């Protein structure tokens, strides 16, 4: 948000203060404030000074309209002409997924709707159009639901959530190492076709996702708090977030088991105990890793029940937004009591 100070009938300085949610992607414009000040000053031919504030402000997508009342209050208290809020919330109006919302001198930019490439440049372009009033002459851009879900999934940073599943990784690795010393998995890995091994992998990954959703109550059910259109988006985002996380965990398990099996499974004994052809040592070794990794990942999923549940839930969009919503509600109650 920013304030325009008028001197001698001319705009002397444009003062900004972005209000962003606590998320790396929403704070891209804040990475280099000096550089941003210089760019805007040159393009707008004005002296630009930037301040910023990191604050959830709005808890959930359903609360955006009510949250704008709070933003308007902030704008008036600070005597700002305009206010720009950058949030990681999605927003749907009349069936359309909006990239920004501009009402009553308040602009809210919805990062998930911007896609997943060049987010900083897209935000900067919107900001420039807004400051030059060009944005008022343009139709509010929209995006499709798939692009929105992909954007929300990437904002969840599923690759960072892997650290919350250390028990799954360790248990899957231990189970896989134990299974790999028996001859039955050896023979099964030989006789299974690549198609069957692929199906087994998919079943293991999907099975792990379903178990995680069930065990940690990650699927948002129908309620008065969440609108149907947002609930379906949150749930799909949760699924894709867990899908990426599970694939990464599966890949880590494959790497660990490759080392383990190469150390603990004697090649000579493997070929003596199975119908494998001696000419394809590497191929059969990889097939054994493939087979064992798929079996062990399901065992690892059951170990997720001993993980920190809040950490696992926090990688999902709906839980994080509800957490902010409750935090804001608590702050408001404390202010009312004071």
Q: What is the pLDDT of residues 6-49, one digit of tens each?
A: 333 334 566 666 777 777 767 777 777 777 778 777 877 777 77
pLDDT given for residue 240 in this prediction: 93
Q: Summarize the chain as % helix, strand, coil (round to 5).
A: 65, 15, 20
Is residue 310's pLDDT more than 80?
no
Ranges of beta strands (E only) in the chain are 2-7, 10-20, 47-54, 83-87, 92-93, 96-98, 100-103, 106-110, 142-143
Is residue 190's pLDDT more than 70?
yes
Residue with tokens 């603990």: 264
Q: Helices marked H in 265-316 — which ranges?
A: 267-273, 281-302, 309-313
Is residue 4's pLDDT more than 80?
no
The end-to-end CA distance of the chain, in Å, is: 28
Q: pLDDT of 205-236, one tens digit each? A: 999 999 888 888 888 877 666 678 888 888 99
Q: Sort 120 into a burial class: Cβ within 10 Å, 0-12 / 13-18 / 19+.
A: middle
Give the whole-angstrom CA distance, residue 295 versus residue 290: 9
pLDDT given for residue 16 in this prediction: 62
Average pLDDT estimate for 2-9: 35
Give the whole-angstrom CA distance, residue 237 versus residue 216: 16
Average pLDDT, the chain: 79
User: 18-22, 106-110, 121-125, 306-310: which has the minimum mean pLDDT?
Assistant: 306-310
Is residue 311's pLDDT more than 80?
no
User: 58-67, 68-77, 111-120: which has the minimum mean pLDDT?
Assistant: 58-67
DSSP at 116: S
Residue with tokens 């010393």: 181
Which of 186, 171, 193 shows the shortest CA–CA distance to 302? 171
pLDDT given for residue 2 in this prediction: 38
Give the whole-angstrom CA distance, residue 199 versus residue 186: 18
Local confidence band at 330 (pLDDT 50, 70, 90 cut-offs)? low
Q: pLDDT of 173-182, one tens digit each? A: 999 999 998 9
Choose between 68 and 205: higher pLDDT. Answer: 205
Local confidence band at 1 (pLDDT 50, 70, 90 cut-offs)? very low
pLDDT given for residue 249 in this prediction: 93
pLDDT given for residue 214 in this prediction: 86
Which residues, in sequence order, are CB contacts of 245 under 8 Å at separation 6+? 158, 159, 161, 162, 165, 315
Average pLDDT estimate for 128-140: 66
Choose between 100 and 199: higher pLDDT. Answer: 199
Angle at 232 between CA 229 and CA 238, to 5 degrees: 140
Is residue 276's pLDDT more than 50?
yes
């Amino acid at each position: 948000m920013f304030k325009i100070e008028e001197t001698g009938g001319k705009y002397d300085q444009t003062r900004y203060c972005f209000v962003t949610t606590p998320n790396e992607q929403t704070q891209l414009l804040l990475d280099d404030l000096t550089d941003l000040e210089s760019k805007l000053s040159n393009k707008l031919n004005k002296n630009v000074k930037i301040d910023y504030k990191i604050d959830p402000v709005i808890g959930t997508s359903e609360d955006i309209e009510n949250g704008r009342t709070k933003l308007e209050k902030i704008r008036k208290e600070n005597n700002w002409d305009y206010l720009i809020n950058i949030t990681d919330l999605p927003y749907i109006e009349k069936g359309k997924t909006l990239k920004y919302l501009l009402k009553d001198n308040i602009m809210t930019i919805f990062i998930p709707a911007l896609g997943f490439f060049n987010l900083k440049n897209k935000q900067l372009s919107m900001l420039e159009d807004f400051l030059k009033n060009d944005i008022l002459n343009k139709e509010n851009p929209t995006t499709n639901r798939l692009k929105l879900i992909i954007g929300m999934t990437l904002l969840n940073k599923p690759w960072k959530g892997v650290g919350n599943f250390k028990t799954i990784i360790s248990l899957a690795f231990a189970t896989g190492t134990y299974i790999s010393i028996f001859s039955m998995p050896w023979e099964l890995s030989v006789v299974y076709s690549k198609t069957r091994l692929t199906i087994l992998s998919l079943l293991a990954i999907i099975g792990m996702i379903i178990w995680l959703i069930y065990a940690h109550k990650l699927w948002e059910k129908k309620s008065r708090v969440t609108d149907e259109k947002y609930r379906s988006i949150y749930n799909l985002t949760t699924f894709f977030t867990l899908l990426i996380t599970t694939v990464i965990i599966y890949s880590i398990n494959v790497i660990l088991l490759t080392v383990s099996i190469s150390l603990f499974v004697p090649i000579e004994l493997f070929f003596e105990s199975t119908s494998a052809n001696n000419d394809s040592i590497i191929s059969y070794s990889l097939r054994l890793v493939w087979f064992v990794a798929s079996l062990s990942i399901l065992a690892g999923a059951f170990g997720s029940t001993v993980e920190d549940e809040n950490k696992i839930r926090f990688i999902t969009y709906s839980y994080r937004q509800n957490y902010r919503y409750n935090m804001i509600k608590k702050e408001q109650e404390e202010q009312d009591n004071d």
